[in-house]
Amino acid sequence: MQLTQGPLRISFCARTDPLPWFEALRKELPQAQLEAWSRGAQPADYAIVWAPPQQFFDEQTQLKAVFNMGAGVDALLKRKIAAQLPIVRLNDAGMGVQMAEYVCHALIRHTRQFDVFEAQARAGQWHEPVPLERGHYPVGILGMGVLGERVARAVAALDFPVLAWSRSPKQVAGVKSLFGATQLPAFLAQTRVLVNLLPLTPETENLLNRSTLTQLLPGAYLINVARGRHVVEEDVLALLDSGHLAGATLDVFRTEPLPPEHAFWRHPRVTVTPHIAGRTLVPETVAQIAGKIRALEAGLPIEGMVDRSRGY
Ligand code: NAP
């Protein structure tokens, strides 16, 4: 990669207010020229983007790297992007701890029956249900990457049995690792609380369907914090109605915002949140991206390069 002569030019392309981003970038890279992208803009050296239009890549042909403002690159990979242009995704950048909070909250709310107590309180009822046994609630985490591992460690620290499924084997204390398509049935058969933290790729799209979800232990609970397109939503509704699924906490949906008529809004055993499980935090994200730009300009390797052949 050629080192930049003169000031670095950074283009910002996302449907969000660029000013907080520019303020943080000026602190990290005071010498950089910052520009919110619009048609016909000057060529930039680096880009910070979220779901940019195709025209952005058609025009910005001198980029040395493009930084995605999130961990998942499924939306970005729908664009035609020059094969040699490095695509860099966020590595945690403050999202890991948020994911751990979100998943532990949903898990504890279900297994300590806070959802039951909320309903009882609304009805003015004082009643002690039989407690659930932690050991009967093995937590299976789909995807053991940056976020999956952070979540697995947090759940293991609460003394739940934890297993994880990934493409390659992992070694994390207190977590049983299963991997590859052939071990998916064994993973599902041992899981009662399923946490989805996979990237959305052609291999993982629609992975959570009637056939796979039926293989979970009876009375299973689904926590989806990855992407809506991993889940066949009608199948989840059918399995909630049959009782095979006890409930679900869902942060992501096939259509976002979730349409007002969608059955998930009103289902008594479904909790819906508006894609907030791991929010992109400006200071952490800018610090990470600026550090990577400095490393690239110094000819050093960086983490978080997307492998386009795998799709994540
Ligand atoms: P990551 O580091 O790339 O980890 C992905 C994990 O999935 C890896 O363990 C990988 O296995 C595994 N995997 C991928 N394809 C697989 C397959 N076909 N079979 C088995 N395992 C497979 O990603 P991350 O940073 O943890 O992020 C995960 C996802 O979370 C993102 O892609 C995004 O969709 C979602 N997300 C959601 C929010 C939100 O607010 N709801 C926020 C941030 C991210 P290997 O380790 O073996 O490669």
Mean pLDDT per 10-residue interval, the chain, length 312 residues = 82 97 98 97 97 98 98 97 98 98 98 96 97 97 98 98 98 98 98 99 98 98 98 98 98 98 97 98 98 97 97 98
Distance CA 165, CA 280 (A): 25
Whole-number Å distance between alpha carbons of 84 and 71: 20
What are the φ/ψ torsions at residue 175 (nearest 5 degrees)?
A: -125, 125
Instruction: Give nearest CA residue, ligand 1 atom 16.
Output: 167
pLDDT of res. 4: 77
**Minimum-distance ligand 1 atom for the alpha carbon of 90:** 25
> Best mutation site among 98, 166, 231, 310 for ligand 1, i.e. most ligand atoms within 8 A of its Cβ?
166
**Centre of ligand 1 from the C-alpha of residue 59, in Å:** 30
Q: Which of 134, 262, 275, 294 is catalytic?
A: 275
Give me the phi and psi of 110, to 5 degrees please. Answer: -75, -50
What residue ranges define each of the domains in the chain, with the CATH number in brackets? Answer: 9-93+280-297 (3.40.50.720), 95-272 (3.40.50.720)
User: How far apart are the two ends of the chain, measured CA to CA in Å?
Assistant: 22
User: Cβ(251)–Cβ(226) under 8 Å?
Assistant: no
User: What's the pLDDT tens digit per position in 199-211?
Assistant: 999 999 999 999 9
pLDDT at 5: 75
State pTM to two decimals. Answer: 0.97
39 noted as active-site residue: no
Does 134 qualify as catalytic in the annotation? no
Mutate to test the pocket of ligand 1, among 90, 167, 256 (most ligand atoms within 8 A of CB): 167
